[in-house]
Amino acid sequence: MKAYEELLGRMKEIDLIGQIGSLLSWDQEVMMPTKAAKIRAEQLAWISKTGHEKITNPRIDIILKELEEFSDLNEIQIANIRLVRESYDRSTKLPTEFVEDMAKHRSKSVISWTEAREKDDFEIFKPDLELAIEYARRKADFLGFEEERYDALLDLYETGLTISKLDPLFNGLKDNISPILNSVTNLKKRNELEWFEKDDWDLQGQEKLSQIVSEAIGFDFSSGRRDSSTHPFCGGPNPDDVRWTTRYSRTDPFGSLFGSMHETGHGTYEQGRPRSLDFQLAGKANGLGIHESQSRLWENQVGRSLEFCIWSLPHWKECFPDNMKDKDEGDLWEAVNSVKPGLIRVDADEVTYNLHIIIRYEIEKLLISGDIGVDELPNIWDDMYEKYLGISPPNYSLGVLQDIHWSMGAFGYFPTYTLGNLYASQLLDAAKNDLPDYNKSISEGRFGDLLGWMRNKIHSRGSILRPDELIEEATGIPPSSDSFVNYISQKVNGLYGI
């Protein structure tokens, strides 16, 4: 198959270009001196332009058309051909001029959003947001869709995702989470958690704990790094070079640790990719939802479990001998699971987090369909927070202006966060079925069983299947909210004795 060999060669070059771009971006966030920003943007623009030239080369379409006629292909070949086709189509369907205009508008919008948030003035951002929505609509039209325009945007972040698939999942959540949340807020326990809300958590202790936990989970530091950055993320060019960051605050030891566990989840996924498929799209990590499942799994399902607190308590005491004096695993467990409806998504607990996402999802559907205009947005935002979380933002900065996503034109992105939570629960249920010793292994710090299961069922499968197919293959059932609802009910029951 000469055509397939050529396709592999072209994919390899495109992948190498992407790897180099990843390293430049990581460096920009973590290492780059401040004045270098302007020329770094030129370097990144060159990388982006060069990558775009390679993927839009008409020769790719010719090879694909030839390969798409073949019937005797294995699952990896089928996946590579499908994934290059998706990538080629996405890159060629958007006119170059449109992409450039949109990129310029994105830069402008991020600036006006930043200013609007700082000055708590929605009007500053409004015209740019209006245009950003218009660009998103046009983008969807260029890309094409079968049922709803918004589907074309969802598909960009999670292949095959549509409103008709998401609505049932999110409705299942809404219907079940709201009663749980009401029962918790009515109880209003949790005053005895003040012990950890102090400004004296040693930063070196936090670094040490992050390192211990990440190593214990199985992140390979000879194939990766831990650093700090303002916005924690997991990046790096390839499975041999995975780089995650966290941030440290003297007032909050959980931010750095759970941030580290979250990024370690992303990082172990990247390190576990199938190495025989290096430089191939089929060997890449799957969509954002699956990626988020790996981070949420270690951050929440594992990290906030009583078993993990049992294992980690001695390490907490080693890293923070004064703060942790007289504390037991129960104190730690209650502290890391404090449930309280809040206004800010990124600070939300496991019970309320998905409600923040559902609010954004409902609003994006309305904005993209044109059922509401930007004028109405702030009121609708506040109404939804009142309805789902029983609280209302006192200003725009704590409300509709809190997220950067819309300024970047990333409509359709938010749902993947919740998909990650649902997938994580569903995967863990399936893993527990195969690992009868699971609870004991976590309380003893033997995380290799769970990591091995994920390696086998998820990491090593790359992007061979579509995300929902992969979840079904790994767990035996299609994506569902049942596992998560179950998980969160049990946790709240345990914590609050409801």
- Residue ranges in contact with a copy of itself by CB under 8 A: 13, 16-17, 19-20, 23-24, 27, 31-36, 38-40, 42-43, 46-47, 50, 220-225, 237-238, 240-241, 278
Catalytic pick among 158, 263, 334, 364: 263
- Cα distance between residue 112 and residue 129, in whole Å: 9
- The Cβ of residue 150 has, within 10 Å, a number of other Cβ atoms equal to 24
Single-letter amino acid code for the residue at 430: A
For 342, the token pair is: 């809040």
Torsion sign over Cα 154, 159, 160, 166: negative
For 204, the token pair is: 């070196």
Residue number with CB closer to a copy of itself (38 or 188): 38
Residue number with CB closer to a copy of itself (1 or 31): 31
CB 143, CB 90: distance < 8 Å: yes
Residues 6+ apart with CB under 8 A from 280: 8, 11, 12, 15, 76, 80
Residues 6+ apart with CB under 8 A from 74: none
Q: How far is CA 164 from the centre of its chain?
A: 21
Residue number with CB closer to a copy of itself (140 or 234): 234
For 314, the token pair is: 């001695």
CB 176, CB 282: distance < 8 Å: no
CA distances from 210 to 119, 214, 433 (A): 35, 6, 29
CB 393, CB 379: distance < 8 Å: no
DSSP-derived 3-state class of residue 243: strand
350 is catalytic: no
Residue number with CB closer to a copy of itself (1 or 41): 41
CA distances from 385 to 168, 208, 339, 362 (A): 21, 38, 16, 12
Residue number with CB closer to a copy of itself (23 or 372): 23
Report the nearest approach of a copy of itself to the CB of residue 108 (Å): 23
Report the nearest approach of a copy of itself to the CB of residue 20 (Å): 5
CA distances from 460 to 424, 475, 484 (A): 17, 15, 24
Report the nearest approach of a copy of itself to the CB of residue 232 (Å): 18
Nearest to 335 by CA among 177, 210, 192, 201: 192
Residue number with CB closer to a copy of itself (46 or 195): 46
CA distances from 330 to 258, 264, 322, 333 (A): 18, 24, 18, 5
CB 468, CB 160: distance < 8 Å: yes
Report the nearest approach of a copy of itself to the CB of residue 36 (Å): 4
- Cα distance between residue 395 and residue 384, in whole Å: 15
Report the nearest approach of a copy of itself to the CB of residue 479 (Å): 33
Looking only at Cα atoms, what is the longest distance across the chain?
A: 69
Report the nearest approach of a copy of itself to the CB of residue 58 (Å): 20
Report the nearest approach of a copy of itself to the CB of residue 256 (Å): 21
- Cα distance between residue 41 and residue 35, in whole Å: 11
Nearest to 154 by CA among 470, 483, 467: 467
Residue number with CB closer to a copy of itself (100 or 473): 100
Report the nearest approach of a copy of itself to the CB of residue 54 (Å): 11
Residue number with CB closer to a copy of itself (266 or 356): 266
Residue number with CB closer to a copy of itself (48 or 338): 48
Report the nearest approach of a copy of itself to the CB of residue 221 (Å): 7
- Cα distance between residue 114 and residue 117, in whole Å: 5
Catalytically active residues are: 263
